[in-house]
Chains A and B, each alone.
Chain A
Amino acid sequence: MSLRRALVGCKRVIDYLVKVRVNPQGTGVVKDVKHSMNNFDEIAVEEAIRLKEAKKLEEVVVVSCGPKQSVDVIRTALAMGADRGIHVTVDDTDKLEPLAVAKIFAKLVDVEKPDLVIMGKQAIDDDSNQTAQMLAALVDWPQATFASKVVVSDDASKLEVTREIDGGLETINVKVPAVISADLRLNEPRYATLPNIMKAKKKKVDTKTPEDLGVDIVSQLEYVSVAEPPKRSGGTKVESVDELLDKLKNEAKVL
């Protein structure tokens, strides 16, 4: 027995290797830099594809909410092996909050009727870690967050999920349908192979707006200011061991 369909959430964010800089107005960050798929979402996509390869899942549908370039992130997921995509167009993701995203997903759950929704535990830009939890509450489904291992029961009626928590690892059983949020050690995402990158171009991507889904995405929060953390004072080079010892003793006061 297998799960029929999984919705996988993936967000387009600034690439994790880019040095993020605050914009001159102090209202946000410089956006004209390299973007890619949120790393934790990549792990969620990989997990869904592995479930499909293990024949525990039939269809992987990736969903991304964002501007027109978000379709790149969907294409990446399709190149990894997802079946089709849904692009919910939102022009200004700065004002798109987890609750709004959760509402969008809740509506898609109504339409697509998946057995599983899986997404990264948090986005590396806002670090909110809220969408999966809020979605579970809105659709009244069980949630298994910070997943580091997912096992589908033989009859596909429940999932055994190992969660990374402060004290160690916790294993819980949740009934299907459920919401899972992926943590770092769930898997190592694959490289998209050329044949799959080519196939991905032919896979279906539907475009919808929040209005199409009847969801009001008005923001509840207002960004007051964005600033860099205070700069570290510079280090100094020392010329000799004696100088090093002197500085460690009298300046850094660690000896």
Chain B
Amino acid sequence: MLTMAMRSGGLRGTAVRWLLSQRLRGGGGGHHRFASTLLTAQQKPYTHIQRGNFNQVEGEDLAVFERILTSSGVITDHADVDRYNQDWMGKFRGQSTVVLRPKSTEEVAAVLRHCHQRRLAVSTQGGNTGLVGGSVPLFDEIILSTELMNDIISLDDVSRILTCQAGCVLEQLNTYLEPHDLMMPLDLGAKGSCHIGGNVATNAGGLRFLRYGSLHGTVLGLEAVLADGTVLNTLSGLRKDNTGYDLKQLFIGSEGTLGVVTGVAIEAVQRPAATNVAFLACNSYEQLQHTFQAAKHHLGEILSAFEFLDEGSMDCTTANLGLSSPLQTPAPFYILIETHGSVQEHDFAKLEGFLETVMSDELVVDGTVAQDAGQASALWGIRERITEALQHDGTVYKYDVSLPLPVLYSLVNEMRSRVASVATRCVGYGHVGDGNLHLNITSSEPNEELFGLIEPFVYEFTAKHRGSISAEHGLGVMKPHHIHYSKPAEAIHLMKQIKALMDPHGILNPYKTIV
């Protein structure tokens, strides 16, 4: 953290905010030691990407932006722009020379109107916590940051609909909702830094997707600005509205390529009066699957999370972050189960019934139940901080796939044998309850031989089992050319047509998602 600040030339306004945002994030700091010095465009496999036929930002453009945004909204000092050019993992690095920070939808619209007319490429950025290189430019795209658009507009206590600007940090929204006994319907490790606009643009899944569902369901209204500056306001507070095509669904998961999300109306959910967290150990993946079935059977309506991590993930977290395993004996698989409900006695009785079953059926060999909120938080920490722990190995090859449950872990096993001699680690963890695996292979430095062993095998395996090559992280700059592994040509063709219709000059997040 301090290294970045010193490289920025001492404590300047934006670096201070960045330092604070680092502290708000659940833990991370060490990853910037391994920040890539190479631009993305200089790294394989991105070297073949040509800069699009866009104009370059000139003095007149900057003057226009300064008129629209006032001086604090335009950053051009190289040292200050630097951190926006670099992604969270230190893997992707762009060459932008200007960051724009609008405060309102009107400012975003005016900026895009100008960029559309001048054919200037734009890369929208929220909390910059994305994991597929979608949040930073590839070349000199203007970075459009939502960090100053963090006003909460309203909360309807009865309908529970929260309306806010796109730059609100997820954790900030949770804190706001807490005294109303409500919480956000999604939760993810990046909550201390990610913006709700970014969550919506990537259709973020997260840790409680199993219970509260997708943003496609919980987002009730959106305000977005189209490439030509048109403001599309469908910010409604209605649960049901079948009047024409549901346009907001296009923007959710579009990764900023169809418009810039500026406002969100989302349905907050009841903050549970009773939360229970259990951490279990299984001796085989088969036992893990049976445990999942038992969890759905016994816990059903109160189950809010069913996460898994393998022994490799636990080893990485304990070794790299100095945390300790909550269980005495190591096991090949660990499960974190969480329940959310309204009455603790009832929920605990259900949990006890479930635990008795899995223990007597010998599906689970060891486990613990958090006795207080501190233990619950520590158990979640083991799962949530794996991503951070992996960064400490140096280089992380990160994959996020959806696979049928029975074969989900086979991918990890097969990959592990493939990369055994070259990789530091090959681990699997994730939202197994959603059929979503996070496969990570690490090495101390980028390694072309290792990369060749990983890709395209990982995509071919996924395609063979009719899975998704990106369950929740999105395509970013990393996977646009791999969509065909998971979607038919006709679908890809229609996506390209929609992109061309909505962004005829292709200025919104070029080189990403649909190319």
A residues within 8 Å of B by Cβ? Answer: 15-19, 34, 36-37, 39, 76, 79, 191-195, 197-198, 238-241, 244
Which of B162-183 touch A at CB < 8 Å?
178
Interface size on B, as a range, is 20 to 34
Digitize B60-88: 1 where CB-to-A-CB distance is under 8 Å, 0 elsewhere.
Answer: 00000000000110000000000000000
In the complex, whether B322 has a CB less than 8 A from a CB of chain A is: no
Contact of A36 among B12, B369, B371 (CB under 8 A): B371
> Given A239-B13, A240-B72, A241-B13, does the pair A195, B368 have CB atoms closer than 8 Å?
no
Q: Which chain A positions have C-beta within 8 A of B370?
A: 191
State the Cβ distance, A243 to closest chain B Cβ, in Å: 8
Digitize B364-386: 1 where CB-to-A-CB distance is under 8 Å, 0 elsewhere.
Answer: 10111111111101000000000
**A37 and B371 within 8 A (CB):** yes
| Cα distance, A205 to B374, chains bound together (Å) | 26
**A193 and B373 within 8 A (CB):** no
Chain B, residue nearest A76 (CB): B371
A-B contact pairs, 21 of them (CB 8 A): A15-B372, A15-B374, A17-B377, A34-B373, A36-B371, A36-B372, A37-B372, A191-B279, A191-B326, A191-B371, A192-B369, A193-B328, A193-B368, A194-B364, A194-B366, A194-B368, A197-B355, A198-B355, A240-B13, A241-B12, A241-B13
Chain A, residue nearest B359 (CB): A194
Chain A, residue nearest B15 (CB): A241
State the Cβ distance, B402 to closest chain A Cβ, in Å: 31
**A194 and B369 within 8 A (CB):** yes
**A239 and B72 within 8 A (CB):** yes
| Cα distance, A244 to B369, chains bound together (Å) | 47
Q: A34-B373, A191-B326, A191-B371 are in contact. List 13 more A-B contacts (CB 8 A).
A: A34-B372, A39-B374, A191-B327, A191-B368, A191-B375, A193-B367, A194-B359, A197-B355, A197-B368, A198-B355, A239-B13, A240-B72, A244-B16
| Cα distance, A102 to B61, chains bound together (Å) | 77
Interface centre among B178, B364, B372 (most CB of A within 10 A): B372
State the Cβ distance, A94 to closest chain B Cβ, in Å: 21
Q: Which chain B positions have C-beta within 8 A of A194?
A: 280, 355, 359, 364, 366-369
| Cα distance, A197 to B366, chains bound together (Å) | 11
Digitize B311-329: 1 where CB-to-A-CB distance is under 8 Å, 0 elsewhere.
Answer: 0000000000000001110
Chain B, residue nearest A34 (CB): B373
In the complex, whether B356 has a CB less than 8 A from a CB of chain A is: yes
| Cα distance, A193 to B329, chains bound together (Å) | 11
State the Cβ distance, A89 to closest chain B Cβ, in Å: 18
| Cα distance, A29 to B318, chains bound together (Å) | 39
Q: Which chain B positions have C-beta within 8 A of A79?
A: 371
| Cα distance, A240 to B80, chains bound together (Å) | 12
Q: Which chain B positions have C-beta within 8 A of A241?
A: 12-13
**A18 and B368 within 8 A (CB):** no
| Cα distance, A79 to B369, chains bound together (Å) | 10
Contact of B359 among A17, A191, A195 (CB under 8 A): A195
> Given A197-B355, A198-B356, does the pair A192, B328 have CB atoms closer than 8 Å?
no
Q: Which chain A positions have C-beta within 8 A of B367?
A: 193-194
Q: Which chain A positions have C-beta within 8 A of B366?
A: 193-195
**B373 and A36 within 8 A (CB):** yes
| Cα distance, A194 to B370, chains bound together (Å) | 11
| Cα distance, A19 to B174, chains bound together (Å) | 14
Chain A, residue nearest B369 (CB): A197
State the Cβ distance, B17 to closest chain A Cβ, in Å: 9
Q: Which chain A positions have C-beta within 8 A of B16?
A: 244
